[in-house]
Structure 1
Amino acid sequence: MNHESYLRAVDLPEYADRATNAAERGAALVARPPHATVDADTVEDCYVYPVPELGPDGSCGVGLAEEPYNLAPICGLEYEPERLRDHPNTARLVALDETVRRLAEETNPDWLGVYRRATNPDGEEVLVKEAYVGEHSRAEFPLTESFAERSNNSTVGLTGDAVLVEDVADYDGPYYECDDSVQSEFCCPILAGDDVVGIIDAEAHEPEFFTEERVLTIVGACAALADSDLLTPPRVEA
């Protein structure tokens, strides 16, 4: 799907005819999985990250949870760092991390992450955060209508339509707050055909941060991720 078609598919037709190469720049930022075996520290960095304590209603608490989140189970793997050093899923996560870092450097938000659509070990359909830069945030967003009533991420994951929040203070749509410093947000689906296979979410501590160039760059990265295998965990044994 070309970038103009992709913009229309994610409900951003107003950007489709813009004379800019930002989308191409965004697409070029998507990394390829490395062929080299990584060290144990890299394995831990890829799979394990701190998350906030969640309240009974699923809202973010003040402190961090006792247990960090581990991506291995939702990727269908046992967390055995030594065996994961040369696993293709680790290479996939390394490439996602590099992609997120490149995209964050290009667009300069305060937070940026990529989520993959997945079924967690409890059998629930969720968006799971697989790479990010910025403050700690929740790992999974339920893909349910009820949670979508309070979350842009879940809404985008269910509808396949991008959401741009110019100013959080003036926004009356679904919004999940884990950082009260956030003043603007752009959330874009990663579409494989008609299916949402993931999202990129970006946040900034100033209103109206997501200019046309930044929006198009992020959309370009989403389109390239959709054409890659980076949102598909390899089906091999650890």
Structure 2
Amino acid sequence: MISTYLSHCNLSISEAVVAGQLAELDAYLDTHSLSATWSYQIPELGEGGSCSLFGNLQEAPFLLSDFVSRNSESERQLSRLQTIAEYVKTATGVDWFGIYQARPAEGIQQLLKLAYYGAPSRPLFPITEAFAATSNNIQTYMSEQARVINNIPDYVAQGGEYYTCDPKVQAEVCLPLLNQQGECLGIIDAEAFEQECFDEYKLAVLVAACIRAIEYLPS
């Protein structure tokens, strides 16, 4: 699974390092269990809904139960995903991390944020070519390729399009969530406030998170 995932995503990191991190994650999941998060604060969106107005929160929380049926199984699944997010925080110290699943939402297919830690952020990303022009999340989902940007200012200066939610973010990694058939069912997103943050170790933690998270996506 590790070799297949790395090859599919075009990631050049050690399989052995990923295997080690997967074992560490499994041990963490055996001994930790966080509660599922069914509602969270989200930022106001700018004109046209393309940009988050960072620091300006909507008054009403976002209700995940409007998009995912709440029952004992989904409670368990979201608990596992939130625990995976907490492991990523513990293992890497990155400043923001989220797990998204592609689901029908508001009449179109979107990436829905199921679990995360860090500053409030938008809950839904429309899966469209127009949104892919600036969104690493959507580009990753549509291409099924890893996107590693270790220096966002340089990336933008060289002409790269970049969707900014938190202006403090200096580096970002997006990886696809692939099932055993190689189908992309969602993505993970990790952000750091320092440049050149994502070394092989942190990437291995994120790949391990992807490999386990796919098992807990709700139906």
What's the TM-score, normalizing by structure 1?
A: 0.81
Output the CA distance in 2 between the equivalents of 1:19 and 1:160: 19
Asked whether the 8 Å contact 2:43–2:57 carries over to 1, the reply is: yes
Structure 1: runs of 5 or more not aligned: 78-83, 234-238
What do the CA deviations read for 1:74-117 (whole angstroms, capped 9, x no partner)?
Answer: 1145xxxxxx5xx2211211111111101211111001111111
Structure 2: runs of 5 or more not aligned: none
Question: What is aligned with 1:24?
Answer: 20
Q: Aligned residues: percent identity? A: 33
RMSD of the TM alignment (CA)?
2.1
Output the CA distance in 2 between the equivalents of 1:216 and 1:165: 16
Which amino acid in 2 is paired with 1:4? Answer: S
The match for 2:206 among 211, 218, 225 is 218
Moved over 3 A (4+): none
Which amino acid in 2 is paired with 1:222? Answer: C
| 2:197 pairs with 1:197 | no
SS in 2 for 1:105: helix
Output the CA distance in 2 between the equivalents of 1:116 and 1:27: 24
SS in 1 for 2:47: coil
- More deviation in 23-32 or 208-217? 23-32
Question: What is aligned with 1:98?
Answer: 83
Aligned runs of 1:63-102 on 2, under 5 Å?
63-76=56-69, 87-102=72-87
* Aligned residue-pair number: 210
- More deviation in 158-167 or 19-28? 19-28
Question: What is aligned with 1:47?
Answer: 38
How far off is 1:161 after superposition? Answer: 0.5
Output the CA distance in 2 between the equivalents of 1:101 and 1:176: 25
Question: What is aligned with 1:231?
Answer: 217
Output the CA distance in 1 between the equivalents of 2:4 and 2:199: 20
What's the TM-score, normalizing by structure 2?
A: 0.88
